[in-house]
Amino acid sequence: MPVQIFGTPGAAALPWYEALERADGTRHLMAHHEPDAVHMAAGWARTGGRTGVVVAAPEAGARSGAGLDGLLAGLRTAHADAVPLVCVTGRAAPPGRDGTAVPAVALVRSARPVTKAAVRVEDPARVPQALRAAFRTARAGRPGPVLIDLPYGTAAHDAVLGALDEQNCTRADDGRPHRASHRTRRFMVCGRGGPPGRQVPTAVGVRVALDASGHRDTTVVALAGADQLPYTVGAFGVAARYEVPFVLAVFDPGGRGGGRARELMRTYGCSGHRVDGRGSLRSALAWARKECVTTARPVLLLIAAHAPAEARAAAGTQTLAPPEA
């Protein structure tokens, strides 16, 4: 499986993106916000059995869940779910750019309670060693996220890293994240706790991991409530842009989310279907699985009745959800 990186735009991270364009065997998916990038990397890591990688340049005072608060929310969820991640952050934009990056002290100090380790590296010569140590720490013992902060000057230097296969991680049978079994042809992503709407970016990561491992015939289904739909817009747009096919099943018992769902589908050119009767749920899921493959886009099912447990039973899927505390 090639090296997969999930990131967010930011001037302070430009050196990383320039290096990624020159790197062979590296894939990159750009998320709208920091928490979405972390959740995508977490879904990828839990499905592929490897360490997820996030590149971010959080800004101070950012709104709409982005910036430092959004990054910390994503890392907190990964830490609670014991998902091995390495998050590389940049700060201090280059000359001529808007210098709104979060100060290093605030970033590292704030990240320490929600990560296994959070460090900043000032010396370019220490970057390869710091990265290898971060991958080892993320996988050692109970897995979890590790943050490495690099100033713009450090990230802009070339460093000889050599062969980096540190994304590989060992399977575990003690409730910790591990490579998921792909014997089933359907894969469910649901959420218990954590930020609202994280099921969608997690499903994107799961889909990317399945495709990279050759399991393209496995369907990914994300479950969310109608009240979480506004939080899924950014990740849903990323999935449509990068042609990441999966099924988003939105539960709307009160029938109030139809207009919002239709607007979401029109915005990104995606198909959708409303399910009103109990007997039509199974056939609607079958249609959605075929439709998302045909269109290479996410497909939305607006379910007016049924509890999530009933939908899971109808889908007959393997569930990817955080372990019980």
Say if CB 298 and CB 244 are below 8 A apart: yes
Amino acid identity for residue 106 in this structure: A
The CA distance from 70 to 33, in Å, is 7
Structure tokens, 262: 């239709």
pLDDT tens per residue, range 10-63? 666 666 666 666 666 678 888 888 899 999 999 999 988 889 999 888 765 544
- Tell me how many helices (H) and strands (E) the chain has: 11, 12
* Domain 186-320 falls under CATH 3.40.50.970: yes
Q: Which amino acid is at 303?
A: I
Reading the chain (325 residues) residue by residue, the pLDDT tens digits are 567 889 887 666 666 666 666 666 678 888 888 899 999 999 999 988 889 999 888 765 544 445 788 899 999 999 999 999 999 987 655 544 444 555 656 788 889 999 999 998 888 888 888 989 999 999 999 999 999 988 766 655 555 444 444 555 444 434 444 444 444 456 667 655 677 888 999 999 999 999 888 888 888 999 888 888 888 888 888 999 899 999 998 888 777 777 778 888 888 888 888 887 666 788 888 899 899 989 999 999 888 765 455 555 555 554 454 444 3
Contact criterion met (CB below 8 Å) for 123 and 150: no
Strands 145-151 and 117-120: parallel
C-alpha span between 127 and 16 (Å, rounded): 12
Q: Within the chain, which residue ranges are assigned CATH 3.40.50.970? A: 3-155, 186-320
Q: Which class is 3-155 in CATH?
A: alpha beta
321: Cβ contacts below 8 Å, ≥ 6 apart = 189, 190, 191, 192
224-239: pLDDT as tens digits: 888 888 888 888 889 9
